[in-house]
Amino acid sequence: MSTTFSATAAGASVATFAFSATATAAFLVTIAFSATASGAQTPAPEDSFVAFESGQVRPLAISPDGSRLFAVNTPDNRLEVFEITASGLQPAFSVAVGLEPVAVAARSDEEVWVVNHLSDSVSIVHVGARPHVAGTLLVGDEPRDIVFAGPGRSRAFITAAHRGQNRPGSSDLTTPGTGRADIWVFDAAWRDASLGGTPLQIVTLFGDTPRALATSPDGSGVYAAVFHSGNQTTTVGDDVVCDGGSDAGPCVAGATTVPGGLPSPNQNFEGAPAPETGLIVRFDRSSQQWNDELGRSWNAAVRFSLPDYDVFRLNAASLAVEQSYSGVGTVLMAMAVHPLTGTVYVSNTEARNEVRFEGARTTGTSVRGHLHEARITVLDGEEVRPRHLNSHLDYTLEKTPPRMKRKSLATPMEMAVSIDGGTLYVAAFGSSRIGVFDTGELEEGTFVPSRRRQISVSGGGPTGLVLDPRRQRLYALTRFDNGISIIDTAAREEIAHVTMLNPEPAHIVEGRPFLYDARKSSSNGEASCSSCHVFGDTDHLAWDLGDPDGQVLPNFNDFHVGDYQDFHPMKGPMTTQSLRGMSGNGPLHWRGDRTGATTPAGDSHDVKAGFLAFLPAFRGLLGRENSISAQNMDRFADFAIRIVHPPNPVRALDDSLTEAQQRGRDVFFGRRTDNTGFNCNGCHVLSRSKKQFGTDGSIAIQSGPQLFKIPHLRNLYQKVGMFGRPRTAGFPHLDDGWAGEQIRGFGFLHDGSSATIADLVGGKTFHTTEEERADLEQFLLVFDADLAPVVGQQVTLRRANQEAASARLDLLVARAELGECDLVARGMRKGSARSWLMMEGGTFRSDHAQEPQLSAQRLRSQAVRKGRATTFTCVPPGSGMRIGIDRDRDGVLDRDEPGAAP
């Protein structure tokens, strides 16, 4: 197998050389360095790479003895291992792990644990004389981080969403007041005979999907941060807000008395009346009121409370929650702990979604260039002290002066604290810089933003940091080029840079910066598309991004059913939509107002044309002086429209349905259930062959004041967690009671005002029974996606677990035979790492062209011999050759590459 790297040193040309590392037991890996200054690789064919855009959490680690650096190669599904030398980093070898690795932690000099985001697994990698995956832990959905804590750091803590096929028991998707943030705890000396490890406990926290972990200095405590923790905002639906705008007085909606209508303005500059919409309100802790911008209380219309637990502290021994923190931030990225005082630092962004309008210059109310603020929040004892990293910005300026922009840091991610606790480093992903802070000044809030306190990294998009105090170095993983920067902490400058092999097609690499880089996106250097579309997905909030200064525009989209309606520039609250899965789904935005049909002859189903229609947002929303060039927007589009949804984590791995899910499917495809004369599939088209998963891209009538594009239904399971909605004329079946504490402020429907799917299909426009609504909800939560549920799943077959793992392996083979995935196997044979790809007919082709194919039974029998544990992984269809046996897709199998072990 061959691995390509490029190495550059500051002020020097690119070094070109070959490195060969031979370990005991005849382990041989050859590293060939690229002779190009950019380190660019020959791109893989597009059909062999699927872009998931998983967010890295802890992508770097150093061995306890300080001799090696471990890095996750997320796009290549590998752990890269470097020898740390006096002159820099020397590539040693790489080990294939699960799909989309995002975090790594070294348990010892010989053992490293890797968190695989898409595979819902953790690879336990032996990195000694015979590097290989010794075991695979199967955990909940989309695991993100890992730390070792407890007595002797003997326990592994792993974050995962409270769902997934590997999670025992129910995911409680329809139960109000249920925590959805899981911490899986394993004995770090795990050596059992189970299928994928037996956790000591799964600790469920009252939050929505955890991300980052950190430990107290002595390892007795573990801190867990909720990823999309929210900010105590929610939407009051349009059927609750009084009609009549600012002239409306209090009214009764259902049995609820509310204070009035929408605040002014209620028309655009042309005088066209705005539609009657919902309203975003925010909870004010001092008054205990859900207030709008006028200070009116909407308590009667909000039937739940949001405690807003952001960070939890667990006792690493008892696993009890000892403390929780609120008000930390809206989107929490990473945590670091002061090594002497135990003070916790949380990198985060704070949303301003309660502020209305995208670009209302005439009203003075706007989030233009000021959507999410970049922050580090200090947790000191009981105190929660947020620190805005860009306090120097004047958001009222139409154009931020360059000297001010250069001080800005965007999208803070992983942090590292010096051994004496005096300095904190933060990876500013959206600025391609490392921020340097005096921890005392940060804690007191006396720091002054300065360009002198930043370190530029040449690769762009730093996500992870790890300190090497012995050599006065800082290593930073740069996601834009899939590389690692080496920084001299004394001189505060990059001294070298290496890049790892990157299988991503060129359009993915070239387009990615336009999503994240705030320097390219905005005038002030803080705002970018990823401020809300976090890692190409969503921030799980609603925003009112209307524009009173905008024009009413004609709607030339295809209409499925309903009367014609123009696009009014004031549209009310709408939840942030994911960038995933746009391809083939017609016009964009909830209303379809980003469309290729800007004239009667236009094509509303041209997704790229619809994405290109977002070009004005760089100026109108992000606050850039001018939009980016058409060429760069084209690059952005080629990247964004290829990001895909992950497999549905709730649906059974064999793609079967439960009895309730099947009954719901029968209703979905069955009789006409709404006032338009269609069944569910009549609008929400489900056709795997046409790659339509809930929409055909056309416009349809909805029970509200506006027409909407028919939305897809692939990610409804992500919206669970807000329960409680007042009874109104449109939703007469609701019980109107108090729902208690919840973990989310936004649920279903375009504005997030609907608590459950069952609510939606029970409104006045539908004719369904309570039983049918419950069954429909069960089916919609497991709705089909682009990739089968089995994609990404793994099992490591070894002597100790052959009985437990047999059924899972049978399942992977069966799904691969049906074409739902390509099945790749990896293991050790005669002291060397080997790999195989399952071919048509069920035999396995190895990474050496001259070897005969093996039967599945032969491969299994070899796997259960001592020292031959073999990991099987279902990878996306079409990617098996690249991931399995021809890494660089040059037509020469990995074992046949020059320098490969015999």
How high is the mean pLDDT of the chain? 91
Q: Give first-to-last CA distance, the chain, whole Å.
A: 11
d(CA 434, CA 409): 9
> Exposed, middle or buried by CB within 10 Å (0-12, 13-18, 19+), for 418?
middle
Neighbours of 291 (CB within 10 A): 16
The reply to whether omega before 705 is within 30° of 0 (cis) is no
Model pTM?
A: 0.94
d(CA 374, CA 361): 24
Whether 494 contacts 484, CB under 8 Å:
no
> Exposed, middle or buried by CB within 10 Å (0-12, 13-18, 19+), for 848?
middle
pLDDT tens-place string over residues 688-745: 989 999 999 998 876 678 999 999 999 999 999 999 988 887 777 777 789 999 999 9
pLDDT tens-place string over residues 805-845: 999 999 999 999 999 999 999 999 888 899 999 999 999 99
Whether 563 contacts 555, CB under 8 Å:
no
Consecutive H or E run containing 423 = strand 423-428
> Exposed, middle or buried by CB within 10 Å (0-12, 13-18, 19+), for 804?
middle
d(CA 833, CA 830): 9
pLDDT tens-place string over residues 735-784: 778 999 999 999 999 999 999 888 877 665 667 888 999 999 999 999 99
Reduced to 3 states, what is the DSSP secondary structure of residue 817?
A: helix
Neighbours of 491 (CB within 10 A): 11
Consecutive H or E run containing 101 = strand 101-106
Q: What residues contact 304, with CB distance under 8 A and at least 6 apart?
A: 722, 723, 724, 738, 739, 740, 741, 742
d(CA 511, CA 326): 36
d(CA 525, CA 625): 12
Q: Which of 413, 502, 471 is nearest to 89 (CA)?
A: 471
Neighbours of 628 (CB within 10 A): 18
d(CA 899, CA 902): 9
Amino acid at 295: G
d(CA 369, CA 243): 31
pLDDT tier for residue 584 given thresholds of 50, 70 and 90: confident
d(CA 53, CA 55): 6
d(CA 567, CA 275): 10
Q: Which of 863, 856, 874 is nearest to 818 (CA)?
A: 874
Task: Judge whether residue 568 has pLDDT over 70.
Answer: yes
Residues paired with residue 387 on neighbouring β-strands, in sequence order:
376
Neighbours of 811 (CB within 10 A): 17
Q: What is the mean pLDDT of residues 302-306?
A: 95
Amino acid at 640: A
At 792, list the tokens: 């990404």
Residue with tokens 């990615």: 512
Task: Judge whether residue 474 has pLDDT over 80.
Answer: yes
Residue 758 is predicted with a pLDDT of 85
At 877, list the tokens: 């269809």
Q: What residues contact 4, with CB distance under 8 A and at least 6 apart?
A: 31, 32, 33, 34, 41, 501, 888
d(CA 35, CA 17): 8
Residue 361 is predicted with a pLDDT of 62
- Which position has the higher pLDDT, 388 or 901? 388
Whether 613 contacts 602, CB under 8 Å:
no
Task: Judge whether residue 19 has pLDDT over 80.
Answer: no
> Exposed, middle or buried by CB within 10 Å (0-12, 13-18, 19+), for 534?
buried
pLDDT tens-place string over residues 129-176: 899 999 999 999 999 999 999 999 999 999 999 999 999 988 889 999
Whether 395 contacts 445, CB under 8 Å:
no
pLDDT tier for residue 1 given thresholds of 50, 70 and 90: very low
Lowest-confidence region among 81-90, 502-511, 553-562, 670-679: 670-679
Whether 16 contacts 28, CB under 8 Å:
no
pLDDT tier for residue 222 given thresholds of 50, 70 and 90: very high
At 599, list the tokens: 């004239």
Of all residues in the chain, what percent carry a pLDDT higher than 70?
Answer: 93
Residue 660 is predicted with a pLDDT of 96
Q: What residues contact 292, with CB distance under 8 A and at least 6 apart?
A: 263, 279, 280, 281, 298
At 838, list the tokens: 């399952």
How would you write 576-634 as a 3-class SS string?
A: CCCCCCCCCCCCECCCCCECCCCCCCCCCCCHHHHHHCCCCHHHHCCCCCCCCCHHHHH
Amino acid at 857: Q
Residue 171 is predicted with a pLDDT of 85
d(CA 711, CA 804): 41
pLDDT tier for residue 363 given thresholds of 50, 70 and 90: low
CA distances from residue 645 to 375, 552, 712, 778, 793 in whole angstroms, order as listed: 29, 33, 11, 20, 15
User: What does the radius of gyration of the chain's CA atoms come to, in whole angstroms?
Assistant: 27
Residues paired with residue 326 on neighbouring β-strands, in sequence order:
309
Phi/psi of residue 415, each to 5°? -125, 160
d(CA 76, CA 60): 15
d(CA 2, CA 604): 45
Residue 46 is predicted with a pLDDT of 58
d(CA 738, CA 726): 9
CA distances from residue 361 to 528, 547, 548 in whole angstroms, order as listed: 20, 9, 8
How would you write 139-205 as a 3-class SS string?
A: CCECCCCEEEECHHHCEEEEEEECCCCCCCCCCCCCCCCCCEEEEEEEECCCCCCCCCCCCCEEEEE
Neighbours of 471 (CB within 10 A): 15
Amino acid at 19: F
Whether 500 contacts 76, CB under 8 Å:
yes
